[in-house]
Amino acid sequence: MTPALVCERLVKRYGDKTVVDRVGFHIDEGEAYGLLGPNGAGKTTTISMLVGLLRPDEGSVRVGGIDVDEDPVAAKRLIGYVPQEIALYPELTARENLRYFGRLYGLPRRELTSRIGEVLDLVGLTGRGDDKVDTYSGGMKRRTNIAVALLHRPRLLILDEPTVGVDPQSRVAILDRVEALVGEGMSLLYTSHYMEEVERVCTRVGIIDQGRVVADGTKRELVAELGGTDRVELTLDGDVTAASEKLRAVEGVSEAVVTGSSSIRLLVAGGRHLLPALLAAVGDAGAVTGVEVVEPDLEAAFLHLTGSTLRD
Amino acid sequence: MRALLVVAGHELRSRLRDGTAPLIALVAPILLATLFGLALGGDDDPPLKATIGVVDLDGGEFPASVQREALNTDELKGVLTFRQYPDEAAARSAVDGGETGAALVFPAGFSEGVGAGRGGKVSVLESPQSPLAGVVARSMVDRISALVEARTLAVRASLEAGVPADRVQLFVEENGAAGPALSLVGDPVAGGRVDLAVHYGAGMAVMFAFFVVGTTARSLLVERQNSTLDRMRAAPVPLWTALVGKSAVGFGLALFSMCATWLSSVLVFGASWGDPLGVFPLLLAHVFAATAIVMLVASRAKTDAQADGYTLGVAFVFAFLGGSIVPVYNLPEWLRGISLITPNGWVSAGLSELAGTGAGPSAVLVPIAVVTGIGVVAGTVALLGFRKGRFA
Ligand SMILES: Nc1ncnc2c1ncn2[C@@H]1O[C@H](COP(=O)(O)OP(=O)(O)O)[C@@H](O)[C@H]1O
Ligand SMILES: [Mg+2]
Q: Mind listing the pLDDT tens digit for each residue in A197-221?
A: 999 999 999 999 999 999 999 988 8
Q: Is the CB of A44 under 6 A from ligand 1?
A: yes
Class of domain A228-295: alpha beta
- Nearest atom in ligand 1 to the alpha carbon of residue A12 is 12
What's the 3-state SS for A168-209? HHHHHHHHHHHHHHHHCCCEEEEEECCHHHHHHHCCEEEEEE
Taking the CA atoms of B115, B121, B127 and B133 in sequence, report the sign of the dihedral they define.
positive
| Residue A208 falls in which region: left (phi positive, over 0), alpha (psi -120 to 50) or beta | beta
| Contact (CB<8Å) B234/A79 | yes
Given an 8 Å threshold on Cβ–Cβ distance, is A76 in contact with B230? no
Residue type, A303: L
Q: B236 and A85 in contact by Cβ < 8 A?
A: no
The per-residue b/e assignment along B204-214, b for 16 or more CB within 10 angstroms, e otherwise, is bbbbbbbbbbb
The answer to whether the CB atoms of A87 and B226 lie below 8 A apart is yes
> How far B10 CA sits from the closest chain A CA (Å)?
7
Nearest residue on chain B to A52, judged by CA atoms? B234
Q: Is A103 in CB contact (< 8 Å) with chain B?
A: yes
CB neighbours (10 Å) of residue A262?
Answer: 16
Q: Is A19 in the pocket of ligand 1 (CB under 6 A)?
A: yes
Show me where the domains of chain A are located: 5-223, 228-295
Q: Report CA(A37)–ligand 2 centroid distance (Å).
A: 9
Contact (CB<8Å) A91/B232? no
Residue with CA nearest ligand 1 atom 7: A14
Task: Determine the pLDDT at residue B179.
Answer: 42
- Please give the Cα distance from B56 to A201 (Å, whole number): 99
List CB contacts (< 8 A) between A85 and chain B.
226-227, 230
Indicate which residue's Cα is closest to atom 5 of ligand 1: A14
On chain A, the residues whose CB falls within 8 A of the CB of B234 are: 51-53, 76, 79, 81, 83
Distance A241 CA to ligand 1 centre (A): 29
Is the Cβ atom of A142 under 6 angstroms away from ligand 1? no
Selecting from A86, A91, A104 the residue whose C-beta is nearest the C-beta of B235 gives A104
All residue ranges of chain B with pLDDT < 50 are 42-47, 177-193, 390-392
The confidence score (pLDDT) of residue A61 equals 96
Contact at 8 Å (CB) between A41 and A212?
no
Decide whether any atom of ligand 1 lies within 6 Å of the A68 Cβ: no
* CB under 8 A, 24+ apart: contacts of B278-282: B278/B350, B278/B354, B278/B359, B278/B360, B278/B361, B278/B362, B278/B363, B278/B364, B279/B351, B279/B354, B281/B361, B281/B364, B281/B368, B282/B347, B282/B350, B282/B351, B282/B354, B282/B364, B282/B367, B282/B368, B282/B371
> Using CA of residue B365, residue B371, residue B376, residue B379, what is the dihedral sign?
negative
Ligand 1 pocket, mutate which of A14, A23, A190 (most atoms under 8 A from CB):
A14
Residue B189 is inside which H or E element, if any? none
Q: How far is the CA of A206 from the centre of ligand 2 (A)?
A: 15
Check residue B108 and give its pLDDT: 86
Q: Do A51 and B234 touch (CB under 8 A)?
A: yes
**Contact state of A52 with B227 under an 8 Å Cβ cutoff:** no
- For the domain bounded by A5-223, which CATH number is listed? 3.40.50.300
Predicted pLDDT at B210: 92
- Which of B204, B354, B221, B326 is CA-nearest to residue B265? B204
Residue A311 Cβ contacting ligand 1 at under 6 Å:
no
What is the distance in A from the centroid of ligand 2 to the CA of A161? 7
pLDDT recorded at residue A304: 82
pLDDT tens-digit profile of B228-241? 999 999 999 988 89
pLDDT value of residue B236: 95
Q: How far is CA B100 from CA A62, B48, B57, B103, in A?
A: 79, 13, 18, 7
Please, which residues have CB less than 5 A from ligand 2, an ion?
A 43-44, 84
ipTM: 0.86
Q: Please give the pLDDT value at position B360.
A: 82
Count Cβ atoms below 10 Å from residue B2 Cβ, excluding itself.
10
E-strand stretches of chain B: 50-56, 80-85, 102-106, 123-126
DSSP per residue, B102-142: EEEEEPTTHHHHHHTT-----EEEE-TT-HHHHHHHHHHHH
Closest CA to A238 of A289, A173, A272: A289
Task: Give the whole-angstrom CA distance, residue B306 versus residue B218.
Answer: 9
What residues form DSSP beta bridges with B102? B52, B126
Ligand 1 mean position, distance from CA A12 (Å): 10
d(CA B270, CA A176): 70
pLDDT of residue A5: 97
Nearest Cβ partner for B3 among A54, A79, A104? A104
Name chain B contacts of A79, Cβ cutoff 8 Å: 234
Q: If you measure from the C-alpha of residue A20 to the centroid of ligand 2, how many angstroms do you get, rounded to a whole number?
A: 12
User: Per DSSP, which regions of chain A are E strands?
Assistant: 5-14, 17-27, 32-36, 58-63, 66-67, 79-82, 156-160, 187-192, 204-209, 212-218, 229-238, 253-260, 263-269, 286-294
pLDDT means over runs of 10, chain A (312 residues): 93 94 95 94 96 93 95 95 95 96 94 95 91 94 95 96 88 92 95 91 94 91 82 90 88 88 87 83 86 85 82 62
Q: Cβ contact (<8 Å) for B226 and A73?
A: no
CA-nearest residue for atom 6, ligand 1, is: A14
How many angstroms separate the most distant Cα atoms in chain B? Answer: 89
Give the whole-angstrom CA distance, residue B42 versus residue B38. Answer: 6
Tallying the residues shown for chain B, one arrives at 392
Q: Going from the N-terminus, what domains does chain B have, and what CATH number goes with each? A: 2-43+191-388 (no CATH), 50-175 (3.40.190.10)
CB neighbours of B332 closer than 8 A, spacing ≥ 6? none
Q: Report how far residue B76's alpha carbon sits from residue A8's, in angstroms, rounded to the nearest whole number.
A: 80
Reported as a single tens digit per residue, the pLDDT across A221-280 is 888 877 778 888 999 998 998 898 888 888 888 888 998 889 999 888 876 788 888 888
Rg (alpha carbons) of chain A, rounded to whole number: 22
